[in-house]
Amino acid sequence: ATPTALMVGTGRGAQLGILIKGPQVLESTRQVDTVVLDKTGTVTTGQMRLVDVVAAAGSEAEEVLRLAGALEDASEHPIAKAIAAGARERAGDLPAVESFTSSQGLGVSGVVGGHAVAAGRVAWMSEQWAQEIGDELSSVLDEAESAGRTAVAVGWDGHIRGIVVVADTVKPTSAQAVAELKSLGLRPVLLTGDNTRAARSIAGEVGIDEVIAEVMPEDKVRVVRELQESGRAVAMVGDGVNDAAALAQSDLGIAMGTGTDVAIEASDLTLVRGDLRAAVDAVRLSRATLSTIK
């Protein structure tokens, strides 16, 4: 492609709300055959809200929410923010946190009101405290995850005491974007640290068949590399700090303009409005730009 055509394409991109890091980026865009989509904040709004709190027998839902909320108040994770805000709304002032540890992609733990409290992935909680969650909580979990929601187990002093459910919302334009990516011959893949059932449910809502879930933050880059090793040319779309390495590894990194600076810096393209349909525009633009001058 001639430099002039690429520059024209880059300018056209800006009009479409696509910031292109350099003219050569349009060339890699055209080769892509697979689009890996981060779930939270990319396909969904990432604005989570608290939808349910269920206590195990012998515990109070309000206490579950207060202790979880206090602990999550110290975390920046969107799940944590939803739990802390919901707890404040329903239970008032939150108790002080005496110590705090965040385990990336798993959950949080610390001391609240003299109790050793933890909140996070159900499997992580079951493992560290060597106990099952019980039938009642188990059915709450099943129902929540089947509906595409994220269930967080909450416990203190060695026992799982309840489940807090948070819900995210699929962006209204995501399904259309996925359909158009497919019609351009691209294979969409949903990639997330969230549980498999919730991921499948969200994938179903937007029309994605291929789901890679329960991936630890540091493993997202490995997933991209493996797809590349299997011969695929990978575009990755993400917004989070935990997407940055994968965005840099991919053949074409696409950041949501609504996301973190780290993700934007690691990417070749930025979708200014955080609308996935702009990724489709980018592919069309690169094809048009490169075909006129071939």
Which of 23, 78 has the CB closer to ligand ADP?
Answer: 78
Which of 145, 275 has the CB closer to ligand ADP?
Answer: 145
Window 239 to 258, contacts with ligand ADP (CB under 6 A):
240, 242
- Partner whose binding site includes residue 152, from ligand ADP, Mg ion, none (CB under 5 to 8 Å by kind): ligand ADP
Window 41 to 80, contacts with ligand ADP (CB under 6 A):
72, 75, 77, 79-80
In this structure, how many other beta carbons lie within 10 angstroms of the beta carbon of residue 123?
13
Distance from C-alpha of 113 to C-alpha of 3, rounded to nearest angstrom: 64
90: burial class by Cβ within 10 Å (0-12, 13-18, 19+)?
A: middle
| 38 has catalytic annotation | yes
Which of 30, 81 has the CB closer to ligand ADP?
Answer: 81
Q: Are 162 and 83 in contact (CB under 8 A)?
A: no
- Partner whose binding site includes residue 148, from ligand ADP, Mg ion, none (CB under 5 to 8 Å by kind): none
- Partner whose binding site includes residue 239, from ligand ADP, Mg ion, none (CB under 5 to 8 Å by kind): Mg ion
Count of residues of this chain found to bind ligand ADP when the rule CB under 6 A is applied: 22
* Among 77, 82, 67, 69, residue whose Cα is nearest residue 104: 77
Which of 87, 247 has the CB closer to Mg ion?
Answer: 247
User: If residue 153 lies in a helix (H) or strand (E), which one and from where to where?
Assistant: strand 150-156
Tell me: does residue 40 bind ligand ADP (CB under 6 A).
yes
C-alpha angle with apex 202: 196 to 207, nearest 5 degrees?
A: 115
Residue in this structure with the two tokens 């980018």, named with its chain if needed: 282
Tell me: does residue 41 bind Mg ion (CB under 5 A).
yes
Which of 30, 121 has the CB closer to ligand ADP?
Answer: 121
In this structure, how many other beta carbons lie within 10 angstroms of the beta carbon of residue 55?
19
- Which amino acid makes up residue 41? G
Window 83 to 122, contacts with ligand ADP (CB under 6 A):
105-108, 119-121
Distances from the Cα of 118 to the Cαs of 12, 45, 112, 136, 177, in angstroms?
50, 26, 10, 20, 38
Residue in this structure with the two tokens 């933050």, named with its chain if needed: 217
User: If residue 50 lies in a helix (H) or strand (E), which one and from where to where?
Assistant: strand 49-55
- Partner whose binding site includes residue 197, from ligand ADP, Mg ion, none (CB under 5 to 8 Å by kind): none
Binding site for ligand ADP (CB under 6 A): 39-40, 72, 75, 77, 79-80, 105-108, 119-121, 150, 152, 192-194, 217, 240, 242
Enumerate the active-site residues: 38
Binding site for Mg ion (CB under 5 A): 38, 40-41, 239-240
